[in-house]
Chains A and B, each alone.
Chain A
């Protein structure tokens, strides 16, 4: 340990910028992590499994059985992506998003890095925002992974052509790619509320696994409640209520109602959970 660089006093001080570097660092830490890649690879495997299973199966798929759009895959490979998204929305996507969102604050606390980030100083609000932004980026990456892997598997294994929509209209391959992107965007938005819930839970504990499990359990509970007709009054308030509403994006003309309703609902969850997370985290004693 050498001595000469010991000059104190403000040599490196600059007027503080907004500090995008922290966001960049957050994304790089998130996406350099083996765990993140393992989850994305697992998600990418879902459409491939579906496509291969349908390809190998000799029996024609009966319409109305299995996941939505499954029967259309053999006619048009572009439906692999949509089918895979339908399969992933109830469990696989919330599972991975729950892991990332639940890990946001609690993960840093358990590693002991939370105190050093705050001492940097990162600023508590800024850290919370950056952490949420990271979770949002993961939501998008996860959805895009399923969609892209699905599109790829569909193109490789099945004929691709103009797509017949739910409304009976036919659209070109190019436009159907656009629709797939729209669906991916819809699902990303769908997961934002859950991410905010995960962030909130994550501020309450230093045990990331607990926050992850709680987030994932909540996503399941919400979907179960959404299926109980006795609780119909509650349904519009459940964050998972519009999760499968993206079928509206496969009509001609596109019906934007569910997109808007979903966006509004998720924004509400972000506002409420964000405010609570802020209230909790800004006063929290960081003792980890």
Chain B
């Protein structure tokens, strides 16, 4: 039998839809996560990141669409795919009445592929890697949130994995812990593991990822290598004005797409208005047009957006 050619994509979805009742939590996304990449899955809370991860890992079923993980269809090939996947999904979940070691032993024993003869050693190593050796014998009840998060990471790394899916891995970690996670992700990636890491923090993703996918309200609005997305990040203007409607009209006439400016404070009783889709239009012409129309311009900035505007970084929660 020929060795199957390893698929290029570690994760691949086509038209993935997951609905809860009438609401689409994930609305037809086409993910492609290349093997060996560190893929940052970016989006505000409620944009469908965790739901996507649940579907990818077979915890929830898709309403429609295709999912392939490590080249095999999910959830059909779940039993052969998951042993090669380490995951931290929606925070850690542990038995409070067991110790850190006890918890990992328990979860490892659920995996029929895991050798029981090496279990104790692997648990020991995993705890050491996340810096929890000193608390290995302590009941998880007494763990802090950051320690639980570390234990969750240790669980994902109990065995050598081809793919790690880490949902908000730095939640609850102090700056030191965050740096350690970043280092850990880099070292895993250097060893050839594909890392799929979700986050609502752009800065975090920019620091450790090679590829990025951006989720917004259940849709994948952009994906690709980090550099490409950075270059394509559209410039936009932010107009501070009390005459929001008139300004929006002017922007529309000039071919811009007006919208609310996320994360931008208002000043002097005016509202921030965002205009995207500059398409090479000179900013001074926009100001001139606004002023000619009698719009009281109290502030005007041109921002070479990274993709902040795509993610609506901040505290937006999509209902």
Q: Which residues of A contact B92 (CB under 8 A)?
A: 112
B65 in contact (CB, < 8 A): no
Q: Mark B31-58, 1 if CB is under 8 A from A, else 0.
A: 0000000000000000000000010011
Q: Which residues of B contact A9 (CB under 8 A)?
A: 160, 162, 192
Interface residues, chain A, with chain B CB atoms under 8 Å away? 1-14, 16-19, 21-22, 24-25, 29, 32-34, 111-123, 127, 283, 285-287
Nearest Cβ on chain B to A284's Cβ, whole angstroms: 9
Q: Establish whether residues A120 and B108, one from each chain, have CB atoms under 8 Å apart when the complex forms.
A: yes
Nearest Cβ on chain B to A112's Cβ, whole angstroms: 2
Q: Establish whether residues B94 and A111, one from each chain, have CB atoms under 8 Å apart when the complex forms.
A: yes
Q: Which residues of A contact B107 (CB under 8 A)?
A: 113, 116-117, 120
Q: Mark B168-192, 1 if CB is under 8 A from A, else 0.
A: 0000000000001101100110111
Q: Establish whether residues A121 and B79, one from each chain, have CB atoms under 8 Å apart when the complex forms.
A: yes
Q: Which residues of B contact A285 (CB under 8 A)?
A: 54, 59-61
Closest to A18 in B: B112
Given the contacts A5-B125, A7-B191, A9-B162, A119 and B108 also touching, CB distance less than 8 Å:
no
Q: Establish whether residues A113 and B95, one from each chain, have CB atoms under 8 Å apart when the complex forms.
A: yes
How many Å lie between the Cα of A277 and that of B147 in the bound state?
Answer: 35
B116 in contact (CB, < 8 A): yes
For chain B, the count of residues having a C-beta within 8 Å of the partner chain is 57
Interface residues, chain B, with chain A CB atoms under 8 Å away? 54, 57-61, 78-79, 82-85, 87, 89-98, 105-116, 118, 122, 125, 128-131, 155, 159-162, 180-181, 183-184, 187-188, 190-193
Q: Which residues of B contact A287 (CB under 8 A)?
A: 54, 59-60
Q: Establish whether residues A120 and B111, one from each chain, have CB atoms under 8 Å apart when the complex forms.
A: yes
How many Å lie between the Cα of A111 and that of B160 in the bound state?
Answer: 26
Q: Establish whether residues A118 and B183, one from each chain, have CB atoms under 8 Å apart when the complex forms.
A: no
Nearest Cβ on chain A to B229's Cβ, whole angstroms: 26
How many Å lie between the Cα of A100 and that of B21 in the bound state?
Answer: 32
How many Å lie between the Cα of A22 and that of B105 in the bound state?
Answer: 10
Q: Which residues of A contact B58 (CB under 8 A)?
A: 118, 121
Closest to A283 in B: B61
Q: Which residues of B contact A6 (CB under 8 A)?
A: 187-188, 190-191, 193
Q: Which residues of A contact B122 (CB under 8 A)?
A: 12
Closest to A28 in B: B106
Q: Which residues of B contact A25 (CB under 8 A)?
A: 105-106, 109-110
Q: Establish whether residues B112 and A116, one from each chain, have CB atoms under 8 Å apart when the complex forms.
A: no
6 more A-B contacts (CB under 8 A) besides A113-B106, A120-B107, A283-B61?
A: A1-B184, A6-B188, A8-B160, A9-B162, A116-B155, A121-B83
How many Å lie between the Cα of A221 and that of B58 in the bound state?
Answer: 38
Closest to B111 in A: A120
How many Å lie between the Cα of A19 and that of B92 in the bound state?
Answer: 24
Nearest Cβ on chain A to B169's Cβ, whole angstroms: 11
Q: Which residues of A contact B183 (CB under 8 A)?
A: 1, 3
Q: Establish whether residues A8 and B130, one from each chain, have CB atoms under 8 Å apart when the complex forms.
A: no
Q: Which residues of B contact A32 (CB under 8 A)?
A: 97-98
How many Å lie between the Cα of A286 and that of B75 in the bound state?
Answer: 13
How many Å lie between the Cα of A117 and that of B107 in the bound state?
Answer: 6
Closest to A113 in B: B93
How many Å lie between the Cα of A5 and that of B96 in the bound state?
Answer: 28
Closest to A15 in B: B113
Complex A-B: 11 CB contacts under 8 Å: A1-B130, A1-B181, A7-B192, A8-B162, A13-B83, A116-B87, A119-B87, A285-B59, A286-B54, A286-B59, A287-B59
Partner of A3, one of B82, B93, B125, B184: B184
How many Å lie between the Cα of A209 and that of B116 in the bound state?
Answer: 33
Q: Establish whether residues B159 and A12, one from each chain, have CB atoms under 8 Å apart when the complex forms.
A: yes
How many Å lie between the Cα of A33 and that of B96 in the bound state?
Answer: 10
